[in-house]
Structure 1
Amino acid sequence: MLRGLYSAASGLIAQQRRHDTVTNNIANLNTPGFKQSDAVTRSFPEMLLAMSRVNDTQRTEIGRWNSGVFAEEAVISYRQGDLMQTNQPSDFAIVSHIAVPGLAFDESGKSVAEDGQVTYQPQAFFTLETADGERAYTRGGRFLVSADGFLTSAGGHRVLGVNNEPIQLAPNVSISDWTLADNRRFIDANGVDTGVELLVSRIDNPHELVRSGEGLFRLTDGAAAVQPIAGADNVQVMQGYMERSNVDAAQSSVDLMAALRAYEANQKVVQFYDQSLQKAVNEVGRV
């Protein structure tokens, strides 16, 4: 009897985590460059149930049974978000459609070969330097200029150039005086190349990234080396634009309702087992 109780309890936990993932997506619906997460639910390994009598070598197989489900992970969707024109010179948006020869990617950015090998579409990210000197990556290009002239993220992390040094404006120079060219180099108000080029990094397997808060990602240990995007990569950085969150509000609402209904169904199963156990103890046990 308790097997069903454990299955229902695992379902409650899985749906709660699914609910938390969806609500986090909805909360970041207006966060620039935010990438949606999708909860992946898997079942526990199957078990073969059988019955046998004491001291009897024969047994009767009942069938296979899954002992429950669990929310294994939250997979990030790196689908391109819509662009919104802001006309703010410190706002930047990445439009990334990096191709890999011989591969066709679906909407989720995944290509599956005939032998089952999965290849993920490379993605482009702004490169930041955190306060502890480590690299971080983001698609949220709503930047600011600090009091000492550094181009920073909203969280105060400095934006890096291709020389791996933070981008800093000269004294008495405004970011509105700089224009980003197609080659990602800044041009001043006189049309002269400033010598500063925005570093946009290519991550060949974006699923090696983990969230670290404030819209930032960090690479996991043992991840492949990161390279600046090349001229052949189909990547464009647009100034005066902002990439919006790629969260699908309508689908998130449906997923939220589905998680709630599934949670209620598992809750009713737990209540049923609770009532059955109560009868077994208070009524059957008394006889």
Structure 2
Amino acid sequence: MLRGLYTAAAGMVTQQRRHDTATQNIANLNTTGYKQVDSVSHAFPDVLISAMSGGVTKPVGRLNTGVFAEQSVSQYLQGDLIESGKSADFALSTDLQVEDPDNAGTYLAFDGSGKYISPDGEVTYRPQAFFTVQDNEGNNLYTRNGSFSVGPTGEVLSAGGFSVLDSNGNPLRLTGPEDTLKVDGQGNLINNATGLPSGTRIGISVITRPQELVRDGNGVFHADDTEAAEIRYSNATDNLQVRQGYLENSNVDATQVTVDMNAAYRAYEANQKVIQFYDSSLQKAVNDVGRV
């Protein structure tokens, strides 16, 4: 009987985490560059039940011992681009492809969640591009929030106050006022006097394995292992475009996360009733059966 209590309690914890994840997504519906988070649940290892009689053991079957929320997975799908009209606002429009290793000249067909599953079950995620920023400790961070500003000495700063990097990994600085911040579709800064690229480009990192990124909050991510994430700066062959005067909206699917939140609440409630049932049964066993 107690095993059922533990299983129901594990279910309640899992559903609470699912509910928390859904409410986090809803709270960030209008957060620039926010990427939806999905909670992934898995079952605990099964237990093999056997019956022993007269020194002979006979297998009865397997017993599931509950479920747990193993991890939270970020969805890096493109969000809608919203025009802001501000020269220091930028958005990335990307459609990065991966060549099929089994068919030269063709590309993997990613599904709606941005992943491809091979016939062998191997999962490949669509590469993603991010603006590259740097914190005060010199750590590189990655964000899709292109709401930038220009500091008093010409340094370009992210919404979180981090230094925006150029394609050489150096802090991006301007020599004129904010209205001189002009870029082309590839992120090259334009010289106002000549109207031509100045030779400096906004640092846009292409991350081949975005599943290796770790969410830091405030719209930024970091990579514990940059080699495993396969991070590089973008080049002219990458299918991406920088849109000045635009911001990328959150990619949260409001309808789906609302359904997920309600489903988690109902499942939590069902597990709660199971625990109440076990509690009532134990109470009868202690108070009533003992008297007989």
How far did residue 174 of structure 1 move? 2.3
Q: Distance in 2 between matches of 1:202 and 1:271?
A: 51
Secondary structure of 1:223's partner?
Answer: helix
How far did residue 176 of structure 1 move? 2.0
Is 2:270 the partner of 1:265? Answer: yes
For 1:76, the aligned partner's letter is S
Secondary structure of 2:263's partner?
Answer: helix
Secondary structure of 2:283's partner?
Answer: helix
How far did residue 115 of structure 1 move? 1.2
With over 3 angstroms needed to count, the CA separation of the structure-2 counterparts of 1:14 and 1:248, relative to structure 1, is: same
Contact 2:145 2:159 in 1 (8 A): no
How far did residue 148 of structure 1 move? 2.1
Q: State the aligned residue count.
A: 283
Which runs of structure 2 are paired with 1:129-144 in the superposition (5 Å)?
A: 129-144=134-149
Task: Give the aligned partner of residue 218 of structure 2.
Answer: 214
Task: Give the aligned partner of residue 88 of structure 1.
Answer: 86
Contact 2:174 2:181 in 1 (8 A): no
For 1:11, the aligned partner's letter is G
Contact 2:11 2:268 in 1 (8 A): yes
Task: Give the aligned partner of residue 12 of structure 1.
Answer: 12
Contact 2:186 2:240 in 1 (8 A): no
How far did residue 224 of structure 1 move? 3.9
Secondary structure of 2:205's partner?
Answer: strand
How far did residue 182 of structure 1 move? 2.2
- What is the CA deviation profile of residues 156-181 of structure 1, one whole-angstrom value per residue up to 9, with x for unaligned ones? 100000121111111xx223223211
TM-score normalised to the size of structure 1? Answer: 0.95
- What is the CA deviation profile of residues 172-229 of structure 1, one whole-angstrom value per residue up to 9, with x for unaligned ones? x223223211232111333143332111011010010001121110002352442111
How far did residue 111 of structure 1 move? 0.9
How far did residue 51 of structure 1 move? 2.8
Task: Give the aligned partner of residue 79 of structure 1.
Answer: 77
How far did residue 277 of structure 1 move? 0.5
Task: Give the aligned partner of residue 34 of structure 1.
Answer: 34
Contact 2:146 2:159 in 1 (8 A): no
Contact 2:22 2:261 in 1 (8 A): yes
Task: Give the aligned partner of residue 155 of structure 1.
Answer: 160
Paired residue for 1:99, among 76, 93, 97?
97
Mean Cα displacement is larger for which, 224-233 or 266-275? 224-233
- What is the CA deviation profile of residues 74-98 of structure 1, one whole-angstrom value per residue up to 9, with x for unaligned ones? 0110111000000111110011110
Secondary structure of 1:180's partner?
Answer: coil
Task: Give the aligned partner of residue 205 of structure 1.
Answer: 209
Task: Give the aligned partner of residue 58 of structure 1.
Answer: 56
Task: Give the aligned partner of residue 291 of structure 2.
Answer: 286
Task: Give the aligned partner of residue 198 of structure 2.
Answer: 194
Mean Cα displacement is larger for which, 60-69 or 275-284? 60-69
For 1:273, the aligned partner's letter is Y
For 2:63, the aligned partner's letter is W
How far did residue 60 of structure 1 move? 4.8
Task: Give the aligned partner of residue 168 of structure 1.
Answer: 173
For 1:179, the aligned partner's letter is K
Task: Give the aligned partner of residue 68 of structure 1.
Answer: 66
What percentage of residue pairs aligned between the two structures are identical? 51
Task: Give the aligned partner of residue 185 of structure 1.
Answer: 188
Contact 2:80 2:248 in 1 (8 A): yes
Paired residue for 2:259, among 251, 254, 263?
254
- What is the CA deviation profile of residues 30-57 of structure 1, one whole-angstrom value per residue up to 9, with x for unaligned ones? 111110010001111111223334xx22
